[in-house]
């Protein structure tokens, strides 16, 4: 087992709601999350919309200021970084956004888009043009694309440009925030394979955020499942799919439409009722209890902690306490 590159400890992020002067309440987007991302691995982060996955990703990169908690990147506390050290952190840890239509400046050419971070970080390159062409080849584009504008590209190609832009800084760690959910399936596979290739070639560490379980399973070594700002389960990918423990994980897994008609018919679906409640006033105790088929009185009052129940398999549920 390799050492941790990123360690997140008791991370919280509350957003104020309502009122111009007085806040009426807090959206508890991320509420006490602890995990680590090991060097060279892909940690998948799954959950439904509004569960706090993107916020977690942004907090790790210091794009948002946490309400509480610690983030240790490569042995240093990210929340305390300033000046030069912060800039170096920004070079090493990067993000690829979901929507390649809004993450590229429409008035810049591909060359400028990719060179911009290089200039900002004052990284010396001998021949900028050659440098960018090399990057373009790495992501499956070529020199003919050098002086074109984003609107001339398809969604998949734009995502390749966005990936080339982050690679230009030779990062150690990348947050991939739903990098393929704006793309068609035939193109999605191309991008996923590209990301895997790059990881192998450069020893990158990924935090892969997605709501698509099939995609997460394909990409990740370990998977963390989030529900309403909390981690409910964390396990190696294979283990999570073969032996899910938390009732929410079970429901999530059995809800995925399986692209195989025979399996789909044979599959017993574990039903959950209702929809994820609002994170403004999350349910007391275990946040999943109103939808959980196994909820007991204890679940309503006390919050279960994330506990190791098997090798490298963590779950936050009273059923396994």
Partner 1 sequence: MSSEARREPLIEVENLYVYFYTYAGVVKAIEDVSFTIYKGETFCLVGETGCGKTVVSRTLTNIVPPPGRIVKGKVIYHRDGEEVNIIKLSEEELRNIRGKEIAYIIQDPSAALDPLYVVGYQIAETMVDHGTVKDFKEGFGRAVRLLKEVLIPDPERRVKAYPHELSGGMRQRVVISMGLSNEPKLLIADEPTSYLDVTVQAQVLDLLRELKGKKGLTVLLITHDMGVVAEMCERVAVLYAGNIVEVAPVDELFKRPKHPYTVGLLRAVPNPLTEIEKLESIPGTVPNLIKPPSGCRFHPRCPHATEKCRREKPPLIRVGPSHYVRCWLYAGKGEEVSRSE
- Positions that interact with partner 1 (CB under 8 A): 48-49, 154-157, 184-190, 192-193, 211-215, 217-218, 238, 241, 251-264, 269, 271-273, 275-276
- Minimum CB separation of residue 3 from partner 1 in Å reads 27
- Minimum CB separation of residue 54 from partner 1 in Å reads 14
Helix (H) or strand (E) run with residue 222 in it: strand 222-227
User: Could you write out the DSSP letters of every residue in 186-211?
Assistant: HHHHHHHHHHHHHHHHHT-EEEEEES
- Minimum CB separation of residue 278 from partner 1 in Å reads 9
Question: Of the two residues 94 and 180, which places its CB atom closer to partner 1 in the complex?
Answer: 180
Question: Of the two residues 24 and 84, which places its CB atom closer to partner 1 in the complex?
Answer: 24
- Minimum CB separation of residue 140 from partner 1 in Å reads 9
Instruction: Give counts: helices (H), strands (E), the chain.
Output: 11, 12
Cβ atoms of 256 and 215 within 8 Å: the answer is no
DSSP three-state, residue 2: coil
- Minimum CB separation of residue 147 from partner 1 in Å reads 20
Question: Of the two residues 161 and 213, which places its CB atom closer to partner 1 in the complex?
Answer: 213
- Minimum CB separation of residue 211 from partner 1 in Å reads 7
Question: Of the two residues 117 and 156, which places its CB atom closer to partner 1 in the complex?
Answer: 156
| Tokens 């809004």 sit on residue | 102
Question: Of the two residues 130 and 184, which places its CB atom closer to partner 1 in the complex?
Answer: 184
Which pairing describes strands 93-96 and 173-177: parallel, antiparallel, or unpaired? parallel
For 290, the token pair is 């109103």
Question: Of the two residues 60 and 295, which places its CB atom closer to partner 1 in the complex?
Answer: 295
Instruction: Tell me how far apart the alpha carbons of residues 238 and 313 are, in angstroms, rounded to a whole number.
Output: 11
User: Could you write out the DSSP letters of every residue in 12-44?
Assistant: EEEEEES-SSS--EEEEEEEEEEEEEETT-EEE
Identify the sign of the CA torsion 232, 238, 241, 243: negative
């Amino acid at each position: 087992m390799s050492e941790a590159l990123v360690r997140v400890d008791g991370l919280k992020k509350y957003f104020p709601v309502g009122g111009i002067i007085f806040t009426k309440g807090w959206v508890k987007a991320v509420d006490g999350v602890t995990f680590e991302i090991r060097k060279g691995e892909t940690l998948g982060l799954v959950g439904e919309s509004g569960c706090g996955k993107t916020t977690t990703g942004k907090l790790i990169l210091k794009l948002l200021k946490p309400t509480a908690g610690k983030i240790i990147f490569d042995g240093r506390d990210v929340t305390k970084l300033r000046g030069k050290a912060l800039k170096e952190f920004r070079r090493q840890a990067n993000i690829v956004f979901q929507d390649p239509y809004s993450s590229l400046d429409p008035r810049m050419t591909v060359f400028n888009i990719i060179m911009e971070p290089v200039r900002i970080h004052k990284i010396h390159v001998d021949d900028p043009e050659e440098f960018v062409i090399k990057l373009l080849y790495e992501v499956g584009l070529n020199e003919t694309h050098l002086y074109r504008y984003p609107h001339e590209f398809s969604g998949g190609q734009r995502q390749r440009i966005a990936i080339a832009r982050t690679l230009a800084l030779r990062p150690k760690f990348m947050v991939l925030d739903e990098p393929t959910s704006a793309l068609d399936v035939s193109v999605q596979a191309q991008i996923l394979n590209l990301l895997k290739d790059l990881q192998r070639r450069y020893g990158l560490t990924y935090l892969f955020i997605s709501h698509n379980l099939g995609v997460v399973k394909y990409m990740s070594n370990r998977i963390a499942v989030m529900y309403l700002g909390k981690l409910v389960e964390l396990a190696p990918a294979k283990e999570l799919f073969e032996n899910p423990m938390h009732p929410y994980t079970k429901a999530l897994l059995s809800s995925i439409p399986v692209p195989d008609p025979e399996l789909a018919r044979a599959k017993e679906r574990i039903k959950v009722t209702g929809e994820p409640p609002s994170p403004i006033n999350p349910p007391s105790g275990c946040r999943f209890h109103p939808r959980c088929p196994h909820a007991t009185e204890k679940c309503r009052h006390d919050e279960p902690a994330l506990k190791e129940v098997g090798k490298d398999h963590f779950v936050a549920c009273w059923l396994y306490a």
